[in-house]
Structure 1
Amino acid sequence: MVEYDVRGRMLYHPEFHPNQGKRFSDEETAYLCKFYETDSLKSLSLALGRIEKSLEYRIAYLKKTGLFDYYRAKWDRQIKA
């Protein structure tokens, strides 16, 4: 059974969030930063296998530390390579 929090975010479900609790890879972080502004958190959550809340925390951390633009550019460099 899928459950949601008061903000409408899907709570942890092992079938939809197999990567929850694992460390973010550089590739996952670059993907998240590249598509954060164009895709919904819900679709990013399903694509990365993590809950929306953890993606929100990750984005906030990357912006706070100034790494958000670095990882967004890293995605573009990976695609061109």
Structure 2
Amino acid sequence: MNGDLRPHPESDAADGIEYDRHYRMKYHPQFHFSHGQPFSDDDLEYLCMFYEIDDARTMAFALGKTEHVCRVKYSTLKNRGLVEYYQNRYKQKLSD
């Protein structure tokens, strides 16, 4: 992904947001509403289509999952040769 968004100490503290040592937002129930749930086909299509375009934080917010989970899932799909498959599914929906 394009890079991490650095934390904003004043507003993040007020919102209860914490970061790991890589500046990735830790799980927060208000932002990670799909935490612990499997990725849907729509989620996978979005992830594969926009992973190289969106930054980590935007992707995580859009899918309701942590940045780390999004990165791990994309890496798994890439290693299995499925990224292009899900990109094509997303593009097909646009053309329908």
TM-score, scaled to structure 1: 0.97
| CA RMSD in angstroms, aligned pairs only | 0.6
Give 2:42's aligned amino acid.
Answer: E
Identical columns (%): 38
Match for residue 7 of structure 2?
A: none
Match for residue 23 of structure 2?
A: 8
Aligned length: 81
TM-score, scaled to structure 2: 0.82
Larger Rg over CA atoms: 2
Match for residue 80 of structure 2?
A: 65
* CA distance in 1 between partners of 2:62 and 2:56 (Å): 10
Unpaired runs of 5+ residues, structure 2, are 1-15
Match for residue 95 of structure 2?
A: 80
Unpaired runs of 5+ residues, structure 1, are none
* CA distance in 1 between partners of 2:95 and 2:32 (Å): 29
